[in-house]
Amino acid sequence: MDIKKTELKRCTVVKTSGRIDGSNAHELAAALKTVTAKNMYNIVFDMSEVNFVASAGWWVLIDTQKTCKPSGELVLVKVDQGIRESLNLVGMGSYFCIYDDVTTAVGNF
């Protein structure tokens, strides 16, 4: 799993692509932990190239959100329609702010 991290002044942008499932969710968890371990709790997760998220992936994002709040927040960007619908259907959509583009998400911090 290729995960790119870009540290900006007020937040860190994390980006990956493809699937997040039971086989690789731990890699995303490890990458996000390296960000929060530096006390950086404002995270923008760019999902523009992510096309599938299983529950293992959502738990990683929820765990990260728990770590980030209340000092900061994990926000999501460009969530695929199918992913977004499944997230809302299981009632987990309310745990995340979702933005349409990275610039707006970064500007939020």
Tell me which residues touch another protein (CB under 8 A). 19, 21-23, 52, 54-56, 58-59, 62, 65-66, 69, 81-83, 85-86, 89-92, 94-95
* Closest approach of another protein to the CB of residue 87, in Å: 10
What one-character-per-residue DSSP string does 1-68 give? ---EEEE-SS-EEEEEEEEESTTTHHHHHHHHHHHHTTT--EEEEEEEEEEEE-HHHHHHHHHHHHHH
* Closest approach of another protein to the CB of residue 27, in Å: 12
* Closest approach of another protein to the CB of residue 12, in Å: 20
Nearer to another protein, 38 or 66 (CB): 66
**Cα–Cα distance, 65 to 74 (Å, whole number):** 5
Nearer to another protein, 10 or 69 (CB): 69
